[in-house]
Structure 1
Amino acid sequence: MRLRTTRRKKVAAAALAVLTTVTISGCSKADREGADNAGGASVPAGASKADYQKAFADVEPIELDFQVASANPDAYSSMRDVEFAKSLEEWSDGKIKVKIHYAGSIAEPTETPDALVDGRLDLAHYYTTYEPDKMQAYVELSNSLSQVPSTPLIGGLVINAAYQDMAFDTPEVREEFESRGMTLLAPASSFGVTELTCRSERDSLKDFAKAQIRGNARAHETQVAALGGTISSVQLAEGYEAFQRGVLDCSLQAPATATSVGWLEVAPHVYFPREQGFAPGAGSLVAGAKWSELPLVAQQLMWDRLREYLSAELYGSLQSITDTAEVTAKNGGTLQYLDAESEAALTESKEDLLDEVAGSEVLDGKALNADVAESISTWTKTAKELGYTDDGGFEDFSTWYQGSADFNDRAYLQKFADRLFEETFLPERPE
């Protein structure tokens, strides 16, 4: 059986470091055998902005090119990425300058790894599931995460946490990034549960027969086939026109994606499963060749600012559900659950997906399925312990969701983001 890295055993020690008196200590690369950075000052986890700015006093200016997740500056993913970039500049006292490039402006999705290696980009949102043949272990993980129930709040929180948790804890996934010259910062930006968006109403399983349905994960081939549809390879940038022309009938993606590219104007009928989810087509926040040249304090700052990056990710995934309900209504559409027959077909396809994972040639799929189920259970319990509950469905989400619609007020979600950071990200912090 594949052995998981038991990260939680390291959490107590990492948390202890946060509680200690914050001091800045000098530490050279030579002092840390095998360290993948340019050395220099080290800042303990939990350091304040003032501590970081002091540590950067003698650091030479750093310039980073960052290609963000969306081509739309107003998209929630852009807001998340730009906030992250601005915080690096602020906390480094201006020593880190980040130049923002919107999606596709420097490198197309499948060109992003090469751009990170050759220096055109230093940070990027990489659409990981777009290259299933090169990221096979990551795809197997995505397939296995079809086990997450499709509920608005708990499902949205758990899909993100379990994905991040398992990506870090699966050696084969990490190796796929590392072998291509990428350093994982946030391995799985799922933007919540996956929805099915359609041009016209689909009230029964027969309504999906021969429908052209766009997918963004390999598992969608199996799930679309189970519904009787045909998988389509229409690119994200071409989706709006494809819906207009009738080339595309439906599409699978996160709610935030559909709202940011305007698809709900032409495909306003949105469906969610009840018992299990459509597999997520996640992307990853990654660093390129320049990562190893950065001073240790710069790497640590990037890592520590992920705490807020995670709450911004959760904000986008949940606020977009409210947006979806509003926009579909304006365009004569609906937001509802799949009918019972379609749900049953999707449930059966989940077992097929898990069987495919179990037979994986790149990792121990049976162990992965079990580990994913364990992670889902753990993060579900964590969410409930922190007071999150699904008090309704997708269609009336805005009436019972307690989070703020203000991007700058993420207190409701920050407590979950903090737990995710402390248990999953903090033990991976560069030291």
Structure 2
Amino acid sequence: MTRPRKAFLGAAVSAALMLVLSSCGGGSAGGKVADSIETMDPITLTYTSVSAEKSAGALNFEVFAKEVEEKTGGKIRFEQYFNGSLLPGDETLEGIGSGVADAGFVMPSYYPQKMALGNWIMDLGSMPSNDIPHGMLAGSAAIQELQNDSDVLKEWSGHNIKVLNISQPGVGNALLCTKPIDSVEAAKGTRVRSGGGVWNAEIEAMGMVSVQVPAPETYEALQRGVVDCITAAPSTLMGYGWWDVAKHFIPVSMSAFNSSAQVINLEVWNSLPPDAQAVITEAAHRWFVGVTQEVLQNYARFATEGPAKHGIVFHDPTPLDALLKQHQEKFIAAKVASPPPGLADPQGLVDKYRALLDKWMAKTTEALGTPPPPRDPAAITESYIKGGDLDLSRFLEITGKELFPLPPNTR
């Protein structure tokens, strides 16, 4: 059976129409579950993402889709929709849950009420280490394992969705400025373009002033002195060309963005035979590691091309790190005191996340054979560069069984 191609619904798609599509069989493969890939009917699953067609996210998905198609002998194929051409970002949660799309990229930050727990966890992004590569690897593994928490599973399944993998696209936002910020005094009053949310409070905790400027206007805002700094991960700093006008990099320990999920409709998932689920799980695992490696390569590019081609200077982050740590500890305590509805033990979930971060930092340190680097500019620059050349085959091995368990009798 080949699933029919779904029509573009546009940004104004109504909840009623989505419900009709779901009730008419648009939300699941339907019929009896086959025993194996060999006996299943061919199926084409739609994948939706707001990522650009040639972006890193799209290219990583294509590797995943090709692996699934090859290992199922063409029984499972994907029809891809990028640039929000099937569903815009703020409709993907309902769209995938109802079957308008079968799989896709969901950002819980678009749904502060419907994904209250996911957003609450995103605000815990100061907990992972900002060290490269240790913090990147440990943070990615920990946020993936946290998806197995019963409360987290309940929130996703309540939207008829299963998480395939979840990514942490960096170790945390850093500062790139048009002037050197190498002390607490230098930071005071500095105007910083922020992405909003948890980062606004962190900017203010460092004595700076958060300014809201649309991303496409930030380049000019830096040139004209409307803002002195921007806060983002290196991939964004490079992607928008901001490193052409701002030359001072301060790798402060700001919060990571840790809630971008690749998901599949739960009914579609349950309609697949166990060996097909195993193929998708293994491909999703390699996808997860591939994204992690790509992030590390972005840091390496920033640390090599930045100084060599763009005149980027790395500065000591420790004076501002001290201010951030004080703020972040108070912020986490405040999050525990105001949990999302339905979370009975917020401190327990924070403790679980911290334990997972410690566990994976220990595993990562053992696998790498070196401790995390010191927090000085030269060591940070060197660690960024070395992280890009890492062979992550060992990371793939140690994250397999724990983070991407296969259905029984399929390994």
Same fold, judged at TM 0.5 (above)? yes
Identify the residue that residue 111 of structure 1 maps to in structure 2.
Answer: 91
Residue 64 (structure 1) aligned to one of 35, 41, 45 = 45
Structure 2 residue 290 is matched with structure 1 residue 312: yes
Structure 1, 242-251 or 66-75: larger mean CA deviation: 242-251
Q: Deviations over 1:179-235 (max 9, x none)?
A: 22322111x31123013243413333443525243236x432321221234445656
Query: Which residues of 2 match residues 152-167 of structure 1 at below 5 A?
Result: 152-167=132-147
Q: Aligned to 1:396, what secondary structure does the other structure show?
A: helix
Structure 2 residue 347 is matched with structure 1 residue 345: no
Q: Deviations over 1:141-183 (max 9, x none)?
A: 23334122211111111111111112322x2222222222322
Structure 2 residue 260 is matched with structure 1 residue 288: no
Q: Contact conserved, 2:193 with 2:231, CA < 8 A, in 1?
A: yes
Q: Aligned to 1:65, what secondary structure does the other structure show?
A: strand
Identify the residue that residue 62 of structure 2 maps to in structure 1.
Answer: 82
Q: What is the TM-score with the length of structure 1 in the denominator?
A: 0.75
Q: Deviations over 1:304-333 (max 9, x none)?
A: 212211220220121111111234332232
Residue 73 (structure 1) aligned to one of 51, 54, 57 = 54
Q: Contact conserved, 2:277 with 2:407, CA < 8 A, in 1?
A: no
Q: Aligned to 2:113, what secondary structure does the other structure show?
A: coil
Query: Which residues of 2 match residues 22-421 of structure 1 at below 5 A?
Result: 38-42=32-36, 55=37, 57-68=38-49, 70-71=51-52, 73-75=54-56, 77-169=57-149, 171-186=150-165, 188-201=166-179, 202-205=181-184, 206-207=186-187, 209=189, 211-215=191-195, 218-231=197-210, 249-273=228-252, 276-288=253-265, 291-292=268-269, 294-296=271-273, 297-329=275-307, 330-340=309-319, 342-362=320-340, 363=343, 364-389=345-370, 390=372, 393-397=379-383, 400-401=386-387, 403=389, 412-421=391-400
Q: Which amino acid aligns with 2:389?
A: G
Identity of aligned residues (%): 23
1:240–1:37 CA distance, 2 compared to 1 (3 A): farther
Q: What is the TM-score with the length of structure 2 in the denominator?
A: 0.78
Q: Aligned to 1:426, what secondary structure does the other structure show?
A: coil
Q: Contact conserved, 2:105 with 2:263, CA < 8 A, in 1?
A: yes
1:87–1:148 CA distance, 2 compared to 1 (3 A): same
Runs of 4+ in 1 over 6 A off after TM superposition: 427-431
Q: Aligned to 2:174, what secondary structure does the other structure show?
A: strand
* Partner Cα distance (2:231, 2:249) in 1: 10
Unaligned runs of 5+ residues in structure 2 are: 1-29
* Partner Cα distance (1:65, 1:238) in 2: 34
* Partner Cα distance (1:208, 1:288) in 2: 48
- What is the aligned length? 369
1:114–1:262 CA distance, 2 compared to 1 (3 A): farther
Deviation at 1:335, TM superposition (A): 3.5
Unaligned runs of 5+ residues in structure 1 are: 1-35, 43-54, 405-411
Q: Aligned to 1:198, what secondary structure does the other structure show?
A: strand
* Partner Cα distance (1:38, 1:382) in 2: 42
